[in-house]
Amino acid sequence: MLVRFKKNLRLDNFDLFLMTLGAIIMSFTLVNIHIPSKITEGGVIGLAILAKSVFGLSPAIVSFIIDSSLYILGFFLLKKGFLSRSILASFTTAVFYALFLEMGPVLPSLEGHPALASLFGGIGIGLGCGLVITRGSAAGGDDSYALIMKKYTHLSIAQAYFLSDLVVLLISVFIYLPWPNFFWSILSTLVSSNLISLVETWVPKPSHLRYPEPASSGAK
């Protein structure tokens, strides 16, 4: 059954390993750096953290619901082959997110060092997201959203990502995020988006996978 499952998704063991590793790195970074330091992300991740701050909802569940909804919408509007793999990546990330939330932070808090939190948080998100993307998948529903916006509006993928990040971060400012943390969050987003591009360039990609169009900024 597992062999057939991997064959249907056109993934081998190495692809699954890197996808899982990316999900672990992102989830660990969010729980141990971003949430304790109040350094947030835009897009789906930012909405999940916002829902936790306002309603006390589990970010793991919220992010999985939003991601799945965007993937389903993308299936009907885009019909890209990477969507099935993206759902798997989203589910894997949600599982490890829930696990790390249950464990609680294991690293010293960087709340008093926002520059370090922004830097290391951006590195963790960028590295994890980049590993997932190199396997012909997407780390979140943001990618599906950006492709939809590009196809049906005049926005580029980069502009679509920036718009969603900016809106979520601005809402977060007026609800729970201090203004200084808003600027640190922007810095973290810039670090992660640039690292995603580097990982996409450096990590070999399997030729048999079909990829979403790479984003220049804001992808998670």
DSSP states of 108-170 as a string?
A: PP-TT-HHHHHHHHHHHHHHHHHHHHTTT--SSTHHHHHHHHHHHSS--HHHHHHHHHHHHHH
How much is the pLDDT for 207?
A: 62
Instruction: State the distance between the two ends of the chain, measured CA to CA, in whole angstroms.
Output: 30
Q: Based on the number of CB atoms within 10 Å of its own CB, is 123 exposed (0-12), middle (13-18) or buried (19 or more)?
A: middle
**What's the whole-model pTM score?**
0.75
pLDDT tens column, 72-122: 887 788 655 567 777 788 789 889 999 999 999 999 988 889 899 999 998
What pLDDT was estimated at residue 180? 84
Mean pLDDT, rounded, for 6-20: 76
Which of residues 20 and 159 earns the better pLDDT score? 20
Q: How far is CA 3 from the centre of its chain?
A: 27
The confidence score (pLDDT) of residue 159 equals 66
Residue 199 has pLDDT above 90, yes or no: no
Rounded to whole angstroms, the Cα distance separating 26 from 186 reads: 17
Average pLDDT value for residue range 141-153:
78
3-state secondary structure of 1: coil
Q: What is the dihedral of CA 127, 182, 37, 26, to 10 degrees?
A: -20
173-177, 188-192, 208-212: segment of lowest average pLDDT? 208-212
pLDDT at 18: 92
Query: To the nearest whole percent, how much of the chain has pLDDT over 90?
Result: 18
